[in-house]
Structure 1
């Protein structure tokens, strides 16, 4: 079996990938196409050997790597040769699980073989441990083999349970398969059903979010709370933290190149930064104490000034008190009443201290009053 023969036929077959569709094939070789999919097309080379031609080298490398991981098992077709865009491998002679279940029931024995298949996937290092039923073949002797394993490796995100297999089985066969899993391993059944429920809840949440309308104007106003540059203190702390983080990461990279232990380097950096922050906090605390002390002194000074002002007002008030100004005049009163005649018979004016004596008002023979300001004023 010469690899050049495979290359000769593969070079006469052109395969082009189409997004979300099966590949487009142009065949100038005498080989008959057996089928095609998203990554490539399969052509019969002999009764036992086929050539799978890919649309790009990455898919070819991926599938060859996945097949090589399981060559020591009976679960995968045997690989004979590989080129940049083709793989020559064994032809699987059997019926795929999709066609089988159309006429046959899913027995407990078949379910156990499917579980064993998933275990093999896990043991050889596949990231995705499930497979579609059309890619699983049942041989005449009852063994299982799988094809199209390129998507089982080099995956960033995978389902934590055999979602593709369960979904492809259909509702009735899915329940049957899960009942067989529950009988064999209740804990595994509980874990798988848990992830199924979480997936359903995630789907419901996604639909709710997609159907809801968001008030962008209101959200824009609320998003101002995330700003840090408008507060000088917060901005300073955030910027300082960012610089420390970048410094730490870059310093660790530099030390790794020199062969130092990264954990020790990080501990030393953390200790240095912690000391620095403690010193800065101490300085800030001292500044804060000085400001509080100054505020207390200013407050006390203000209180003293207010007290002095009150005392000054009291003094000024006392100065206007005539009893204090004229303590020797016992019967002095300042009055605005109509009756300005006092018991002592004396009156002391405001602007001067001339003594004037006013007799008690009397009536003359004609009945006229001799008032203080009357026409008949008597001294």
Structure 2
């Protein structure tokens, strides 16, 4: 399929009939008078079916659209990323992704060595095409009929200042049982990679413990987190290692603080 087969001007007319509003930590609100059927929505936008081969994602924030378009553009030479056919300020027309997402697939099927191999290859592709976040949630990974993978919602893989130095989102989304199986497969196929991930998993746990200790201190200076993080360093004179460790601590603390804020907000609503 070629780009010239799509009339972007007609697509833009339909997009004007769609209003998408983003809400923090919730799926977008959609008001549509378009003839296109909405087939899904998430935190950044809503997806509409154009035909059996194409769909359109309309974003609530133009920056999110630009970000995902850039991320997808990096991987257009691979089979992992859906093909782009047309783009506007707040929408992208792309290849329709079929198959079954891993969240649904793993409910009734085992995590085989072959699938684990495909997941490692996915992470390698992310690295090779220049993504900053080498990670992805299982619900955004689709298994194809031929056993290959396709991924959606890659906007958050780029334009990031800090990322976890191991695939934390993927591992946690697998659940404890499948996480253990996947790590066992990684240990067998790539033992050095396994050792590095285990190291950062341990540092993740230590960072969470450190956060709990810091909470007990009154008037704690949160800006000193970088200095506190130095206590976790075990390898000296390795700049990249320090950056990874510092980013990991920052991300863990940020996530835990966000979880506590959301809990407080839910209590207020009751």
Match of 1:108 in 2: 113
Report the alpha carbon displacement of residue 215 of structure 1 after superposing the two structures with TM. 10
- 1:147 paired to 2:152: yes
- 1:33 paired to 2:38: yes
**Partner SS, residue 74 of structure 1:** coil
The 1:98/1:215 distance shift into structure 2, 3 A limit, reads: closer
CA RMSD of aligned residues (A): 1.3
Match of 1:170 in 2: 175
- Moved >2 Å (runs of 4+): 211-216
Kindly indicate whether the alpha-carbon contact (under 8 Å) linking 2:214 and 2:220 is maintained by their aligned counterparts in 1. Answer: no
Distance 2:83 2:218 in 1: 55
> Which consecutive residues of structure 1, in runs of 5 or more, have no partner in the other structure?
217-379
Match of 1:206 in 2: 211
- 1:23 paired to 2:28: yes
Alpha-carbon deviations, 1:178-209, whole Å to 9, x = none? 01111111111110000000010110111122
* Correspondence list, 1:72-91, <5 A: 72-91=77-96
The TM-score with structure 1 as length reference comes to: 0.56
Alpha-carbon deviations, 1:13-46, whole Å to 9, x = none? 0001101111110001111111001110000011
**Partner SS, residue 57 of structure 2:** strand
Distance 1:199 1:143 in 2: 31
Distance 1:171 1:5 in 2: 47
Alpha-carbon deviations, 1:41-76, whole Å to 9, x = none? 000011111110000110000000000000000001
**Partner SS, residue 15 of structure 1:** strand
Alpha-carbon deviations, 1:289-333, whole Å to 9, x = none? xxxxxxxxxxxxxxxxxxxxxxxxxxxxxxxxxxxxxxxxxxxxx
Distance 1:36 1:98 in 2: 17
Distance 2:89 2:220 in 1: 53
Alpha-carbon deviations, 1:158-196, whole Å to 9, x = none? 000000000000000001000111111111111000000
Report the number of matched residues.
Answer: 216
Alpha-carbon deviations, 1:193-247, whole Å to 9, x = none? 000000101101111221244699xxxxxxxxxxxxxxxxxxxxxxxxxxxxxxx
> Which consecutive residues of structure 2, in runs of 5 or more, have no partner in the other structure?
1-5, 222-270
Match of 2:71 in 1: 66
* Correspondence list, 1:180-329, <5 A: 180-213=185-218
* Correspondence list, 1:98-137, <5 A: 98-137=103-142
The TM-score with structure 2 as length reference comes to: 0.78
Distance 1:3 1:23 in 2: 24
**Partner SS, residue 161 of structure 2:** coil
Alpha-carbon deviations, 1:246-279, whole Å to 9, x = none? xxxxxxxxxxxxxxxxxxxxxxxxxxxxxxxxxx
**Partner SS, residue 31 of structure 2:** strand
Distance 1:215 1:82 in 2: 47
Distance 1:5 1:139 in 2: 31
Kindly indicate whether the alpha-carbon contact (under 8 Å) linking 2:135 and 2:170 is maintained by their aligned counterparts in 1. Answer: yes
Higher RCO (CA < 8 A, seq sep 6+): 2
**Partner SS, residue 94 of structure 2:** strand
Distance 2:190 2:144 in 1: 27
Distance 2:114 2:143 in 1: 13
